[in-house]
Amino acid sequence: MLIREAEEKDVLDIKDLYFNFLTKYPPKEEQDIEAWKQLINEFNKSERLYLLVVEEDNRIVSSVQLAIIPSLTHNIRAFAVVENVVTHEAYRKKGFASMLLQEAIKIAQNKNCYKISLETGSNRESTLNFYKENGFEMDTKHSFLKRL
């Protein structure tokens, strides 16, 4: 098992994760794999964007995105946002997503972020407990979403 940043060669495994295990409604149109590769390369060049993966059995089985966002508040300290926490169904309950979240938290701490946040669309108790077990608290703030 290896935790690392995604590389261009991982693109098909990541696409499989996103399309089969992240969303109920994947896009129907054909995806531009070259554009996906370009975006992965942009992540790797950035000091604020991370696409973390777990490699197991020579494939990508879990992934987390992390964005570090500069802020003028909190003595000009950035904040971090976690998105797209996903693990292949056959590799769940092995701690991979927890390892990725802990790595994301470590990166955010090293970047001197004052907070790290995430949202989940799941109301399942097991999912909510998973985030709590990884140090996240249910907040009193409200989240609003407008799909574009």
CB 87 within 8 A of CB 119: no
| Structure token pair of residue 130 | 């998973």
Instruction: Indicate the pTM of the whole model.
Output: 0.92
Give per-residue pLDDT as tens, 50-106.
Answer: 999 999 999 999 999 999 999 999 999 999 999 999 999 999 999 999 999 999 999
Q: Which domains does the chain have, with CATH numbers?
A: 2-133 (3.40.630.30)
| Residue partners of 52: CB distance under 8 A and separation at least 6 | 3, 4, 5, 6, 63, 64, 65, 66, 100, 103, 104
Q: What's the distance, Cα to Cα, between the start and end of the chain in Å?
A: 37
| Residue partners of 84: CB distance under 8 A and separation at least 6 | 18, 22, 63, 64, 65
